[in-house]
Chain A
Amino acid sequence: EDKVVQSPLSLVVHEGDTVTLNCSYEVTNFRSLLWYKQEKKAPTFLFMLTSSGIEKKSGRLSSILDKKELFSILNITATQTGDSAIYLCAVENLNAGGTSYGKLTFGQGTILTVHP
């Protein structure tokens, strides 16, 4: 059974701190790993990673994938109160035919709270 595990489950920091969120996975026929940010409603797409070692960056957020060790990290530097949210990691895999199901397996999420 495909499994995605995130840690920590919750994290409380102060503005300006740097945080590292972890995501490990065990899936058959890995295709991609995605990070989402969820505030009140819909998850908002952050990054998609398919290759090891290539760091994705967007402002204060960055993410890297290690396909050998089966994990990814999401870094947020100089945190702001607006970064408070649930961060979801999801993995997409391929079916036996080598094409995507379109199915995402989500981790349980990390609840990040940033205090002023």
Chain B
Amino acid sequence: DTEVTQTPKHLVMGMTNKKSLKCEQHMGHRAMYWYKQKAKKPPELMFVYSYEKLSINESVPSRFSPECPNSSLLNLHLHALQPEDSALYLCASSQAPTSTSGRNEQFFGPGTRLTVL
């Protein structure tokens, strides 16, 4: 299985809602990532999990809360979002990022299109 899956595909939420995005991979990868992508812009890294531990937080506002329950799953909990948070949220995974050699390319899921009203 060489696929990263994400649910839901689309999400519309109000500014007072609480919702979660889910990501799953079964490639045995030990690193997982959340990216945010606005229209006509490249993906921007939000969080990196390595061996189920948060290793990078790119100064993301606390209204975004990541969680890695196990090596195959990654969640992004959303609360009190703003309209400017509307974007495509991409999940990716790769082999252990702490490796100094070997392949470490990231494989992306299809994304969740989030709209905040």
Would you give the 0/1 interface string for B73-117, flagging 1 where the beta carbon is closer than 8 Å to chain A? 000000000000000101000100111100111111111000000
**Is B69 interfacial (CB 8 A cutoff)?**
no
Q: Restricting to A77-116, which residues have a CB under 8 Å from any CB of B? A: 88, 90, 92, 94, 98-104, 106-109
**Is B12 interfacial (CB 8 A cutoff)?**
no
**Is B13 interfacial (CB 8 A cutoff)?**
no
How many B residues touch A, CB cutoff 8 Å? Answer: 28
**Is B70 interfacial (CB 8 A cutoff)?**
no
- Give Cα distance in the complex from A44 to B111, angstroms: 12
Asked if A100 and B56 make an inter-chain contact with CB atoms under 8 angstroms apart, the answer reads no
- Give Cα distance in the complex from A32 to B100, angstroms: 11
**Is B55 interfacial (CB 8 A cutoff)?**
yes
B residues sitting closer than 8 Å to A (CB atoms) are 4, 31, 33, 41-45, 48, 50, 55-56, 88, 90, 94, 97-100, 103-111
Asked if B99 and A99 make an inter-chain contact with CB atoms under 8 angstroms apart, the answer reads yes
Of A36, A41, A90, chain B has the most CB atoms within 10 Å of the CB of A41
Chain A interface mostly helix, strand, loop or mixed?
strand
Known: A41-B110, A41-B111, A42-B90. A100 touches B97 (CB 8 A): yes
A residues sitting closer than 8 Å to B (CB atoms) are 31-32, 34, 36, 41-45, 48, 88, 90, 92, 94, 98-104, 106-109
Known: A102-B48, A102-B56, A103-B56. A48 touches B100 (CB 8 A): no
